Structure 1
Amino acid sequence: MTEEEPGSDPGPGRIRSIAVHREDVANALEAALRSDREVVLRATPPFSGRMRARLHALDAGGDGTDERDARSADDAPAPLHIDPRDLVADVPPYPEPDDTAAEHPDTDLEARRERHAEAVEDWRERVRRSIGSSVEIDGDGDSRAVDVVALG
């Protein structure tokens, strides 16, 4: 974290890099691709030079808003939301159960389940290895690139 200077910008313009856990990115991306939920990686104020973005479902409040977002004062910066697709270079297609079954039509159900679980784990590993080195963030009316530090 950086020291807060009097009169300095408390908004996302202070962010130089975002730290994300590889597992959080894989979980968020899988949830976003497999459901209608909007799942993001989120950094919350107070912002500093280096921020950690954590897994967050935007519909966690039940009405499409988040309780912490709704409590933000007008002069306080809003949390920063990063789409997990923006963190992964060349998002691989998610393995569907029907595709696994089609690839192995002569195997029994249990063997197909095991193969599908292996395909999903392979997909998750590819995602964890494909996290990019920078991401565009929106804040204070502009968009700019910040470094991404992948943890784990």
Structure 2
Amino acid sequence: MSEEGSGRDPGPDRIRSIAVHREDVANALEATLRSDREVVLRATPPFSGRMRARLHALDAGGNGNDGGEPGSADGSDAPGPLHIDPRDLVPDVPPYPEPDETASEHPDADLEARRERHAEAVEAWRERVRERVGSTVEIEVDDETRTVDVVALG
């Protein structure tokens, strides 16, 4: 019996590719590395062969459950959203430039010049991240890991 005829919403096992915007990946990765927030790329049901994953910050005080998952507060059997860690989308994540490192590279610069140089270093890091978005990502589907294509936009 097909999933459409089973009375169950199609799950993430239908996904063949995920489209992500390069800027969303850089933003999510920077937020993940620079704060205690959990920022992901999220694809929401109903799932299809090609899905768009968008920037999403998980509730830092909650359990990470966006609802819709079996056993969730709404009691639905519908599949929940798919969360993709931005670190899984960027092979060989470059080290984030720390302000102290930038300052040590230019010890004679005044405070404003150091700030400008650090901003330039961060923008260069973001550009490297945008360029490195991978062509595949592994997703968890029904306790199995599947590899799907990544389509990088922008």
Q: TM-score, normalised by structure 2?
A: 0.89
How many angstroms apart in 2 are the aligned matches of 1:90 and 1:66?
29
How many angstroms apart in 2 are the aligned matches of 1:21 and 1:146?
16
- Aligned with residue 134 of structure 1, among 133, 136, 151: 136
Q: 2:19 matched to which residue of 1?
A: 19
Unaligned runs of 5+ in 2: none
Instruction: Tell me, yes or no, if structure 1 residue 109 matches structure 2 residue 111.
Output: yes
Identity %: 78
Q: Higher helix fraction: Structure 1 or Structure 2?
A: 1
SS class of match (2:55): strand
How many angstroms apart in 2 are the aligned matches of 1:39 and 1:118?
23
Superposed, which structure 2 residues align to 1:86-97 within 5 Å? 86-97=88-99
Q: 1:45 matched to which residue of 2?
A: 45
Unaligned runs of 5+ in 1: none
How many angstroms apart in 2 are the aligned matches of 1:66 and 1:87?
21
How many angstroms apart in 2 are the aligned matches of 1:64 and 1:26?
24
How many angstroms apart in 2 are the aligned matches of 1:27 and 1:72?
31
The aligned amino acid for 1:27 is N
The aligned amino acid for 1:116 is H
Q: Which has the higher contact order (CA 8 A, sep 6+)?
A: 1
How many angstroms apart in 1 are the aligned matches of 2:96 and 2:57?
20
For residues 32-60 of structure 1, what are the alpha-carbon distances to aligned partners after superposition, in whole Å with 9 as ceiling and x for unaligned? 00001111100010000000001111116
For residues 75-108 of structure 1, what are the alpha-carbon distances to aligned partners after superposition, in whole Å with 9 as ceiling and x for unaligned? 2111100000000010000001010001100000
SS class of match (2:18): strand
How many angstroms apart in 1 are the aligned matches of 2:45 and 2:128?
31
How many angstroms apart in 2 are the aligned matches of 1:142 and 1:55?
24
The aligned amino acid for 1:127 is V
Asked if structure 2 preserves the Cα contact closer than 8 Å seen for 1:80 and 1:139, the reply is: no
For residues 103-149 of structure 1, what are the alpha-carbon distances to aligned partners after superposition, in whole Å with 9 as ceiling and x for unaligned? 10000000000000000000000000000000000012211100000
The aligned amino acid for 2:21 is H
How far off is 1:72 after superposition? 5.5
Q: CA RMSD in A?
A: 1.9
SS class of match (2:137): strand
Q: Provide the aligned length of Structure 1 versus Structure 2.
A: 148
Asked if structure 1 preserves the Cα contact closer than 8 Å seen for 2:66 and 2:80, the reply is: no
Asked if structure 1 preserves the Cα contact closer than 8 Å seen for 2:18 and 2:150, the reply is: yes
Q: 2:58 matched to which residue of 1?
A: 58
